[in-house]
A and B are shown apart, each in its own frame.
Chain A
Amino acid sequence: MNIRKLIAASACAMTIVAAQTPPPANPQNGRGARGGGRGPNFPQQTRPLAAPEVLARGKALYGVHCSACHGGDLRGGDQGGPNLLRSMLALGDQHGELIGPVILGSRQDKGMPAFNLLATDTTALAEYIHSVLALVGRQGSPPGGEGGANLKILVGNAEAGKAFFDGKCASCHSISGDLKGIATKFPEPRTLQNTWVSGGAGRGRGGRGGGEDPSAKPTTVTVTLGDGRKVEGRLVRIDDFDVSLIQSNGVRQTIAREGDAPKVEVHDPNAAHKALVPTLSDKDMHDVTAYLATNK
């Protein structure tokens, strides 16, 4: 396949399927509860929480007795206490019947000290642990998984980024023209980087692909019929057997394909990005992002 066809093929929204990725919550076709069970809807996330005063007591006890070893966030601590949010025992516990004996000393041979606590205290601790387990997110991500807000994304060299931009991007883009104020439009550095790398697509946070920008220029197609007549318009869909387009007068037309006939030329406005991005080093990418970030 030639590069044009390849670009045409890539014009379609990308589909990347993560490991056992559950279906989306709101399927486009909206038939019934197809997205049901998107999770997290395991017992830890759906069970009723204990009364607030019990949880408050459990939290206070945890801070005093447990957090030094198991971490303030329950994900394990410097002193070797394991992560309780993935503990098979904690996950299997209902109301302290499994967790309680461990607190009281049943695992001293494995290094877990014995604590002399009342049954109401061990129950409160267990209920508190369950209340944090309830916050475990989709596909086992830790509570507060959309974090990272304090991480430094802008690590590139803006000057080097300008040099790269001038050499590779300036033939299509201008910092004082189409990209004027881009860092104001996209103040979040990840979004800024996602946007320029993908050429407007894949801007979104989260997810693996991200949707196409509705304001982006459409992909167009020119079909040269057997009699030499050309049909042009916005590409709707293309496969091995048909190409569908909407002409400038709004008329939708589907033309049958058989092998290379008729001749189909797809014009992808994002073709330059698709040619550039596979050659982009991470350093170049970070440098250009740093440069664009100065452009408020």
Chain B
Amino acid sequence: MTPMKKVLLSISSLSLFLQGQAQNGLDPVDILKPLSDQWTTYSGDYSGKRYSALAQINQTTVKNLGLAWVTRVTAGTGPSGSAPGGGGGRGGGASAPIIVGGLGTGDLNTGGARFSGSILQVNGILYLSSPDNAWAVDARDGTILWHFYWKTRGGTHTGNRGLGMWHNNLYLETHDDMLVCLDATTGREKWHKEIASFDQQYFSSMAPIVVGNHVLVGTGNDLDAPGFLQSFDPETGDRQWIHYTVPMNAGDPGVDTWASLDAARHGGAQVWIPGSYDPETHLYIFGTGNPTPAYTTGRGEGDNLYTCALVAVNVDTGKMAWYYQTSPHDTHDWDSTETPILVDAPFHGAMRKLVLTATRNGYFFTLDRVSGEHLVTGKFGLVNNWASGLDSQGRPKRDPGKDATVPGSLVNGDVTNYPPPAYSPDTGFFYVPENNSLRISYLIDDDPRGSMGLGGTMGGGGLSFGSALIALDYKTGKVAWRHMLSGGSSGLLTTAGKLLFGGDGSGNVVAYDPASGKPIWHSRIGSVGNAPETYMLDGHQYLLAVGDDQLFAFVLH
């Protein structure tokens, strides 16, 4: 870039920034700030900690936390924004405009919105999404300002994980593989680009992550297809780079961990949950999904790189800096996509730049995030029986006897999943939902060529041993406390008010003491989606939580 262009660019970004203040814009520089008044990206900030500096709501004041507003959100083209007991619109205002896009028939994803992603809060506006839908909502009173509906062509409609924002642009991934750019002020579509092949059975649901002038985008696929992370230009939607998470060419590193190049190229490792970003090293660190075929033979006996791994990629080049595999040669569909958390914290007497992750296989890892050096492995889960100890690199050693077998193998289920974990620097604890169950895993496709996708097995005989919210010590990997719940915990939020918020799986949003797990406050709002969030407006700290298809905002009274 020429110096003159650089000057022009910074002037234009400055003016964009100033305009943005008036028209709901977000300068990407603001995403670098630690989580506080706004919620600018999937995890609130790049660290993945979900630790807010806000402390107005704290252990003393939380007893006064009460409802500010509630809004029901309806997907599809039905009426939007109806308040409970009221018909359409709030306060007598006109109902929100519905902007319709898409290339399909639009007969999917109508009715009560299904929330399993993050909600942005920028300049007093909330931006939220469900599969094929996006909304802007007034963060002060819950009024829906606009609603965008994408008429889908189909695809496997998992949860949508949220929106990304760059100046006045919002980015939505759709399950028929489009990246849709919306005008944040109006909800009108600016452009859409195909980010993966719908014909090849990809489906896209990740929350796009904006880093500088990169929009990072991930996709999913269950049919033996290669996974990848891509970066797009925020203005034009042109692709900047693509990073495959499995070897794609003869001689690629890791290809010898597969039965063949063909097996590697069909090996999965999808990227469907956002990672975290370290601005100092320019490394975007994310987890990859399961190998395919997921449960059966057909991939050789090797580790199957880079499936079920933590991967660090330079955001400017898309090149991998390091990786660490958290579930080598996975045979249980245990994606390691859970959002990792970046912390600077003491370790063995020195401050270290760490990355922490708790993966679906029931193991917790502390690594050096600059080098990828392994530091700690911990185990969680009350009935976690699939592995037989750790190898020399601290990775769990799969017990082949616990693979799916024809007469059945009694093995634990997913110990955690996509709902986001959290970390509090006040306690030094990493908080994560824990599920405890055993089931019998049967092989029903014993074809020596291996099965396909997630096929070939059948589960049965399930027994639950309860769910829990747990705190892990990153220095030892040990469980510091475990609070049993009667349902599975949602994702989590911690705050400088010395509070830990989460849904308890029984319809409550709960504030816990992060030091002990003791519940301090709760409100029964329905099934809590993804994770509670918080923001500050006009001197008031809000707690925002999804209960079923409604948004609940709480403030102190």
Contact = CB atoms under 8 A, between A and B. Distances in A.
B545 interface: no
A34 B112 contact: yes
A75 interface: yes
Contact of A10 (B153, B408, B459, B466): B466
Nearest to A20: B158
Contact of A147 (B198, B413, B444): B444
Main secondary structure of the interface of B (DSSP, over half): loop
Main secondary structure of the interface of A (DSSP, over half): loop
B40 to A, nearest CB: 26
B38 to A, nearest CB: 29
Interface in A175-199: 190-191, 193-195, 197-199
B463 A10 contact: yes
Contacts of B518: 259
A155 interface: yes
A277 B410 contact: yes
Contacts of A75: 447, 449, 452
Contact of B461 (A140, A153, A193): A193
User: By CB atoms of chain A within 10 A, which of B407, B443, B451 has the most?
Assistant: B407
Interface in B458-477: 458-468
Contact of B111 (A31, A85, A154, A273): A31
A240 B445 contact: no
Given A9-B466, A43-B198, A37 B508 contact: no
B445 A145 contact: yes
B110 interface: yes
Contacts of A85: 452
A35 B486 CA distance: 25
Interface in B353-389: 382-383, 385
Size band of the interface chain A makes with B: 35 or more
A267 to B, nearest CB: 15
Contacts of B438: 277-278
B394 interface: no
User: By CB atoms of chain B within 10 A, which of A9, A82, A206, A273 has the most?
Assistant: A9
B340 to A, nearest CB: 18
Given A32-B111, A33-B109, A141-B451, A18 B409 contact: no
A177 B158 CA distance: 46
Contacts of A9: 465-468, 484-486
User: By CB atoms of chain B within 10 A, which of A20, A145, A239 has the most?
Assistant: A20
B522 interface: yes
Given A75-B452, A202-B463, A208-B462, A153 B406 contact: yes
A86 B266 contact: yes
Given A9-B466, A190-B458, A140 B222 contact: yes
Nearest to B409: A282
A13 interface: yes
B463 A140 contact: no
Contacts, number: 319
Interface stretch (B19-27, B91-99, B237-245, B288-296): B288-296
A200 B436 CA distance: 19
Given A43-B198, A154-B407, A209 B454 contact: no
Contacts of B449: 71, 75-76, 83
B294 A91 contact: no
Contacts of A6: 382, 465-466, 484
A285 B410 contact: yes
A140 B459 contact: no
Interface of B: 74-76, 78, 107-112, 114, 131, 152-158, 175, 197-201, 205, 220-225, 262, 266, 270, 272, 289-290, 292, 294, 333-335, 382-383, 385, 401, 405-410, 413-414, 417-418, 435-440, 442-447, 449, 451-456, 458-468, 482-488, 504-508, 510, 518-519, 522, 524, 548-549
Listed from nearest, the 4 A-B pairs whose CB atoms lie closest are: A32-B111, A140-B453, A141-B455, A37-B157
23 contacts: A9-B468, A9-B486, A16-B414, A17-B418, A20-B156, A32-B75, A32-B76, A39-B156, A40-B156, A42-B155, A71-B449, A75-B447, A83-B452, A86-B453, A136-B223, A136-B452, A140-B223, A140-B454, A194-B440, A203-B460, A206-B460, A239-B506, A240-B522
Given A10-B465, A141-B456, A142-B453, 16 more contacts: A15-B464, A17-B414, A20-B289, A32-B75, A40-B156, A91-B200, A136-B223, A137-B455, A141-B451, A141-B452, A145-B456, A155-B407, A191-B460, A203-B461, A208-B459, A277-B438
